A and B are shown apart, each in its own frame.
Chain A
Amino acid sequence: QVQLVQSGAEVKKPGASVKVSCKASGYTFASYGISWVRQAPGQGLEWMGWISAYNGNTNYARNLQGRVTMTIDTSTSTAYMELRSLRSDDTAVYYCARDITSGCLRYWGQGTLVTVSS
């Protein structure tokens, strides 16, 4: 069965960077894209971007361009999301998700809490 297993919780200081991993299993990794979605405490879902696991092409949300980088490692079937210049309002649960057709996110990781605090 499809599984996405994310790395553990992180605590970072403002201005630092964080890199969250998402290890996929149960399917052919290169056949589907991975999206990253975040959710601040008590808030809604925010789509951050998407990466093709086939060729590494990316699309990023405009408000995060310049601060976010998504990458893949096909040898380990792992996707990564790095967010730089962290601010307190980046405190959120970060999810990776795999689509079934482009944009439809059926499979989700368990989420990674990133706390940004001085």
Chain B
Amino acid sequence: DIQMTQSPSTLSASVGDTVTITCRASQSISAWLAWYQQKPGKVPKLLIYKASTLDSGVPSRFSGSGSGTEFTLTISGLQPDDFATYYCQQYNGYLWTFGQGTKVESK
């Protein structure tokens, strides 16, 4: 199975900061990667798919990049609404997996 490893596990940041979360796959997944945001008690929200395509309605301060085994999610100009946990998910082939999550908290 393809393992997904996110770093860091927790990230402390302030409003206005640019933050970057990394996701590494245990083998190449081309660009078959999605990013989700989840707030406590809420369902996950799709932010980005195919590594860099912003889902409809997602603010442009979110961006994704990468291919193969290394991917990044960048939030440029962190907003109060962005404090949440972020998950990557690979969907290469028939068995999909999530990363363990990165919590973005207020510094």
Contact = CB atoms under 8 A, between A and B. Distances in A.
Interface of A: 35, 37, 44-47, 50, 59, 61-62, 95, 97, 100-106, 108-111
Given A105-B44, A106-B55, A108-B43, A45 B36 contact: yes
A95 B43 contact: yes
B41 to A, nearest CB: 9
Given A45-B89, A50-B94, A108-B43, 15 more contacts: A35-B96, A44-B87, A44-B101, A45-B44, A50-B96, A59-B94, A61-B1, A100-B46, A100-B49, A100-B55, A103-B32, A103-B91, A104-B34, A105-B34, A106-B55
Interface in B1-46: 1, 32, 34, 36, 38, 43-44, 46
A59 B101 contact: no
B46 A105 contact: yes
Interface residues of B, number: 22
Nearest to B34: A104
A47 B100 contact: no
B99 to A, nearest CB: 8
Contacts of B101: 44-45
B32 A46 contact: no
Contacts of A95: 43-44
